[in-house]
Structure 1
Amino acid sequence: MPFLTSYETILALEQGRERPSISNPVQHPPAPVPPTRVQDATDTYPDAFNSTYPQPVIKYLLERGKPAAIHDSSARAYPPLCHPDTCKTLRGRVVQWGMGDGDERILWILGPAAVGKSAVAQTVAEEFKRARRLGASFFFSRPNHLDNPDWVIPTIIYQLVTRNREYKCIVTQCLVDDILILDKNHSTQFRELIIEPFCILMTQYPHTVQEPLLIILDGLDKCKDKEAQCEFIDLINSHSWQVPLRWMICSRPNWLLMTVLSNPDFMVTCRCEELSICDEEVQQDAQRLLEVKFDKIWQKYRDRLPVDWPPGYQWWRIAFIASGHLSFASFILRFIGDKEYDDPDGQLKACMTFLKGGRTVGPISPLHTLDDLYCQVLSDVPANILSTTMRILGLVIIDRHGLNSANDQARFLGLNQVTFRRALQNLHSVVYVLPIEESNTTPLHTYHASFSDFLKDSNCSGQFYLDWEAAKYDFALQCLHWFESNGKT
């Protein structure tokens, strides 16, 4: 692609002026003719880097992107973060990968809902920014309406142009050549505004790209266009080998993304890390988080709390139920330490009542944030198959140890495999769904008991309430059919 147009055109765009008209040229002092091959962007476009001038290119990118999705945006004033003593092993592997020179250009962190992926992504973003190795970040969020795929590439480009002035000059040139480029498809934007400019940097300004930059996409599964989710993965995978960029992607295991991960060709360039609540270190992290945060609450209210607060049996009860679910522990701690109530002991007692299956005093459940997340997951299930999904969930909760495999569970409910899997395709973040080739050996199960409790409590689940009596009746009826079809009485 031709890199240079007129020197004056670039300056005009950078200084906020209209592009010069051929029929009515702008009067200006004679300027030196720029070289045909750019040796140094600062020398060629000196005013492009003068901060006293307006920056219409950056403003244009901001208008087309979504700065609220950047890791250090004011919209994310209190983002989830890893405690310094949690997820240390995983974060260490991420840093080693991101700072190293291995061939794996993509790191995919996979994990169920609310297990702490965003906290890891946020912490890594801050660590890499301090090391001057962060290129860009985009944190998807449905509750905050940060889920439009059209915002992703402009937001990434905006961050890159603020970090590399040579790259800024090249992107400015691209926008001068084609001001409508951000109205084109994602593939064109990605290729012409990210990949090709970095290829130019590598050949003409190699000193500016000696170390790879990290780009983080957190919550890719929350992108509202499922086809766009796969498109971004395909674009990154197809071009990652060409440029000094590394991509860290965090997501729940939805069925579309799992299909991509199952491709052996993709795994050649991708490294996968799984964040599981069953992992021993994650369970220890949850306990460590409880220790640290409870101590912080006690320090704040030490004038009214006993030295042994909270009582050991209550601490262990919460730790046992959390069972490695970092977000579960965080939500409980946030409820107990809520400064609006200013009564940690009273909140702890309400929390213990809730965890024993009773109702809390007050309008808010200790896990209301987790409830919102579960509602969001279930809202993705198509309405025409939701009733089938709820039947499957009812069976999973009632019959925890009876049926030996997912295939048996499908047959028990009288469902063929196509219907059974379609009903589950949006639940991979809350229900452990085995690959089809393994579905004859292990049954479905929920990742955490809080999801089962949510379904059985109409105050929490609302429209997704699992009618417990109807579920038990369906189970009993299917038992009769099962015994009849298997010749048992």
Structure 2
Amino acid sequence: MSPLANGSQVPSQINITHSIISGGTFDQHNHIYTVRSGERAGYTRLVENVAPTALHDSGHVVDPPKCHPNTRVAIIQTVIDWALGTTVDDDEINGKLIMWLRGSAGAGKSAIARSVAERCSKEGLLLGTFFFGAADPTRNHVGRLVATLAYQMCIVLPGFRDIVTALIEEDPLIFSRALSAQYNTLVIRPLSIIFSNHSGSTHVPCLIIIDGLDECSANIDSQRALLFTLQEDTTPTTPIRFLVCSRPESQLNSAFGLPRMMNVVHKIFLDDDLCAESDIRLYLEDKFKEIKEGHLFKKALPATWPNPATIDILVDKSSGQFIYAATVVRYVESPRHKPHQRLDAVFNLRPAFRDLPFTELDALYRHIISKADDLPTALDILAFPALYGDFWHILDVERLLRLEQGDVEVVLADLHSVVKFDTRIYRNQTSWAIGFLHKSMRDFLSDPQRAQDLYQDLFASRLLHISRSISFSSTHQLEELEPLSWICMPIDLVGDQLRDLADALKAGLGPSDILQVAHQFPIFAFTQSVPIYDDKTLHPPSRSCEFLRSYLCCLNSVKDVCESARLVNLDQIRQYCKGVLSVLENRFPNDWKAHFMYAYYHLLPVLHQGLHKRGRFNDYMDMGGFGSNIVHMLLREGSPYFDEVPAISYDLTKGVKLERSLAMSASFCLSFLCDGERSNARDERRISRIMGVYPRKIRDHPWRWRRMIPRRRSLHDQPVVMWTTHAFRGTLAKLRRIRRPLDETYIPSGNILTIRQYFHIKYHTRMQKPRAMEKRWPLYLIFMELLPCILPFAGWYEPLVTMCSKKCLAYVSLMWPKESRHARQAIHNYLQRMDSHKV
């Protein structure tokens, strides 16, 4: 029987030979301490209270983590320089007595701590280490910390052993006292004596490493007690430096953030290490090279295995955390399997082997997430970054989950080692956002085999988010919706997501809920309230406009699920069209540009079905104001409900409304086409000289000029652009001699382009913002082509009739003879039709 710290006796090891144990769990820790005959009682008692597995070089720890060669070099050197007090150009850091090396789960803290310990031990800088371990009952508490540190100091410091032995013999119950009393008696007092007698001619060890403080799980309060003990009892007269490594748990964040700790602590956050990604890449490349050269089945490996893209994916998945890369390597290098097949299993390219690839990583994730007090709510919150990516605004999550403000931070208080909180600026407002520190966390949560009871059906979560997003938007004012970044995120589905939604609703996973809130959504009033920004300043689309687009797209994707879904979709699109028409009539009754934008997207697709399929005009059609909302809503011609909106709009406006709206649209086009002389006068004069047409002829004979059909120009007389590639500029010129024609599809290798070729290169390369005149040229061509499409359906409108009678197209129209001829003919036909109506 051996004595415990409290004076009781430790029973001898139980002999279970020829015995049967049935049921329960039986753990026997058989630590053998060898004490030489004749040792003093104080030293014997010290050894009995040591935790051998807490030493950095303990033989009880199988395959302890260490840094791969040539990785984490900068951080390790930073720690050693700080321990020596030689940090370059930073006396403030040199004066700190504690360095907190914090990092998320799997960031490599223990590996760095062991690597620092080994190097400092060789260089004579190490006083002692203590590596906490939650699963080891001998080192998951602070009870053996002081004894373990004192034992190591007895080895490295001459004279320390005799002093400590005497102090223990003076107080045999010292190990049953408070941590601060043990630390002050067995560490501070002996060190003070040692340092007071030190001559200073040689350097003495000064570094103590405490790793995994967050795994001191027997009593969470003891973590804070240890930190406060180090802060209170460590003084400049005893030059000890403490490297403390841990995850950024909430209680530790709070403790290290106290004013009393700020003056003595320097913090290093491993997740901010810019070299982590390159270090992980080096580790993976070296390990895979070792496998290719030394594995038992190396002959079966492809010559190019693994390809660089595979390394890139693994580095990206690691998110700066070494545990992911190390887990992959340990799985792939199994001597019983072919490495390339194991790597395929990691990427789900083949069925997993009996031992799953990420067993160790999954156990870590489950351990951390299970610590949340309100686990169901924590999983609901984690579904947001899993579904929509980093970073999600906390206020948005709380609104959608119907939580009180501040609940997200409380629920995730214990998950800081896998979840990151960051500040984001949205529309000049700063707010907190949430995201994953590990990209592999999403894979874990969405895999039932890996997550087990923590598994999250992310698509079911998204269905819930869609329903609540629609419900929230229908019950709140637009002023409340505009600041929200999430308002359209849940329903902003594309491609396979839309098909998955339809399949899910067909399978009965919630169509009644989504369709019910959609049926009650006040889309007519919502559309009328959508903000319309002025057309002088560029603005991003409003959140409510983005929501409407995503909402209608979502409804359209499920319209074939059932009859009720089809009816809801049709009704909502019709109400939307009524809302747009109401805005046009009530807020822009005489605005030519607004009517033109409405006609272009809501009416012309019915009147000229092939017009929008060409897609040539749409890159230039967003002209701000009311039109920007229409452009954004219909995604130009790409929306799945594009055909339904024009058909319904035509039905709502046919008759006098249609004729008047199209007449104002034609007025907008014609005013632009006839405005060539007043705007860009310098360019107009240059064009007139090249074309051989003079403004006086137009002023003297406007009627004749308006009806004149220009002659077809010869090949050697057509206008061209001299394209300068290095300056991204074009100069208008007149072609004099060329050996072959310049058709509209051929892009010449030289620098001579037709006008349309110039537009194609200039606006599709997006190399710079267009200048004013360069932007007007394609618009001029667009309006000339659109005018013959609009005028045949326009009714009597006095301003339009006046323009057609008294104005003429600017002479820049001669650069496009064919289009110019069609536009003039359309004007002539419109005037004849209006004259016949008078009769």
Return closer, same or farther for 1:451/1:209 CA change in 2, 3 Å cut-off: farther
Q: 1:93 aligns with which of 47, 55, 78?
A: 78
Deviation at 1:51, TM superposition (A): 7.2
Aligned to 2:766: none
Report the TM-score, using the length of structure 1 for normalisation.
0.82
- The answer on 1:138 being equivalent to 2:123 is no
- The answer on 1:468 being equivalent to 2:463 is no
* Matches of 1:308 and 1:53, distance apart in 2: 65
* Matches of 2:202 and 2:229, distance apart in 1: 21
Give CA-to-partner distance per residue, 1:240-297, whole Å, 9 cap, x none.
2241211001111111111123234422211111111x64311100111111111111
Asked whether the equivalents of residues 140 and 220 of structure 1 are also in contact (C-alpha less than 8 Å), the reply is: yes
Moved runs in structure 1, 4+ residues, more than 6 A?
Answer: 435-439
Return closer, same or farther for 1:473/1:60 CA change in 2, 3 Å cut-off: farther
1:331-342 superposed matches below 5 A: 331-339=327-335, 341-342=336-337
Q: 2:275 aligns with which of 281, 294, 298?
A: 281
Deviates more, 1:372-381 or 1:54-63: 54-63
Give CA-to-partner distance per residue, 1:32-76, whole Å, 9 cap, x none.
xxxxxxxxxxxxxxxxxx977435444422322311111100122
Q: 1:352 aligns with which of 322, 341, 347?
A: 347
Deviates more, 1:387-396 or 1:56-65: 56-65
Return closer, same or farther for 1:437/1:280 CA change in 2, 3 Å cut-off: closer
Aligned to 1:296: 290
- The answer on 1:363 being equivalent to 2:354 is yes
Report the TM-score, using the length of structure 2 for normalisation.
0.49
Return closer, same or farther for 1:402/1:451 CA change in 2, 3 Å cut-off: closer
- The answer on 1:386 being equivalent to 2:380 is no
- The answer on 1:444 being equivalent to 2:434 is yes
Matched to 1:116, the amino acid is: G
Give CA-to-partner distance per residue, 1:349-376, whole Å, 9 cap, x none.
222226xxxx742222221111111111
* Matches of 1:208 and 1:158, distance apart in 2: 25
Asked whether the equivalents of residues 408 and 440 of structure 1 are also in contact (C-alpha less than 8 Å), the reply is: no
Deviation at 1:460, TM superposition (A): 1.0
> SS in structure 2 opposite 1:324?
coil
> SS in structure 2 opposite 1:333?
helix
- The answer on 1:229 being equivalent to 2:223 is yes
Considering Cα pairs closer than 8 Å and 6+ residues apart, tell me whether 1 or 2 has the greater RCO: 1
Matched to 1:75, the amino acid is: H
Aligned to 1:407: 395
Return closer, same or farther for 1:305/1:396 CA change in 2, 3 Å cut-off: closer
Aligned to 2:39: 54
Aligned to 1:171: 164
- State percent identity of aligned pairs: 27
Matched to 1:89, the amino acid is: A
* Matches of 2:338 and 2:72, distance apart in 1: 30
Deviation at 1:92, TM superposition (A): 1.1
1:180-199 superposed matches below 5 A: 180-199=173-192
Matched to 2:55, the amino acid is: I
Aligned to 2:58: 73
* Matches of 1:208 and 1:197, distance apart in 2: 20
Asked whether the equivalents of residues 110 and 252 of structure 1 are also in contact (C-alpha less than 8 Å), the reply is: yes
Asked whether the equivalents of residues 212 and 246 of structure 1 are also in contact (C-alpha less than 8 Å), the reply is: no
Q: 2:443 aligns with which of 453, 456, 461?
A: 453
Aligned to 1:422: 410
Q: 2:240 aligns with which of 242, 245, 260?
A: 245
Give CA-to-partner distance per residue, 1:145-169, whole Å, 9 cap, x none.
4312212222111211222242211
Unaligned runs of 5+ in 2: 1-34, 87-93, 479-525, 527-839
The structure whose Rg is larger is 2
Deviation at 1:455, TM superposition (A): 1.3
Matched positions, count: 431
Deviation at 1:327, TM superposition (A): 1.5
* Matches of 1:479 and 1:151, distance apart in 2: 54
Asked whether the equivalents of residues 377 and 427 of structure 1 are also in contact (C-alpha less than 8 Å), the reply is: yes
* Matches of 1:56 and 1:421, distance apart in 2: 52
* Matches of 2:60 and 2:333, distance apart in 1: 23
Matched to 2:416, the amino acid is: H
* Matches of 2:239 and 2:145, distance apart in 1: 19
> SS in structure 2 opposite 1:156?
helix
* Matches of 1:270 and 1:435, distance apart in 2: 24
Asked whether the equivalents of residues 111 and 253 of structure 1 are also in contact (C-alpha less than 8 Å), the reply is: yes
Asked whether the equivalents of residues 217 and 250 of structure 1 are also in contact (C-alpha less than 8 Å), the reply is: yes
Deviation at 1:435, TM superposition (A): 8.4
- The answer on 1:318 being equivalent to 2:307 is no
Unaligned runs of 5+ in 1: 1-49
Aligned to 2:539: none
Deviates more, 1:475-484 or 1:213-222: 475-484
> SS in structure 2 opposite 1:75?
coil
Asked whether the equivalents of residues 110 and 253 of structure 1 are also in contact (C-alpha less than 8 Å), the reply is: yes
- The answer on 1:305 being equivalent to 2:301 is yes
Asked whether the equivalents of residues 424 and 432 of structure 2 are also in contact (C-alpha less than 8 Å), the reply is: no
* Matches of 2:216 and 2:282, distance apart in 1: 32
Return closer, same or farther for 1:232/1:417 CA change in 2, 3 Å cut-off: farther
* Matches of 2:300 and 2:312, distance apart in 1: 22
* Matches of 1:395 and 1:485, distance apart in 2: 22
Asked whether the equivalents of residues 114 and 325 of structure 1 are also in contact (C-alpha less than 8 Å), the reply is: yes
> SS in structure 1 opposite 2:128?
strand
Return closer, same or farther for 1:196/1:417 CA change in 2, 3 Å cut-off: farther
* Matches of 1:67 and 1:402, distance apart in 2: 43
Matched to 2:119, the amino acid is: E
Asked whether the equivalents of residues 102 and 267 of structure 2 are also in contact (C-alpha less than 8 Å), the reply is: yes
Give CA-to-partner distance per residue, 1:151-193, whole Å, 9 cap, x none.
2222111211222242211111111111001101111111111
* Matches of 1:285 and 1:162, distance apart in 2: 35
* Matches of 1:220 and 1:157, distance apart in 2: 18
Asked whether the equivalents of residues 391 and 435 of structure 2 are also in contact (C-alpha less than 8 Å), the reply is: no
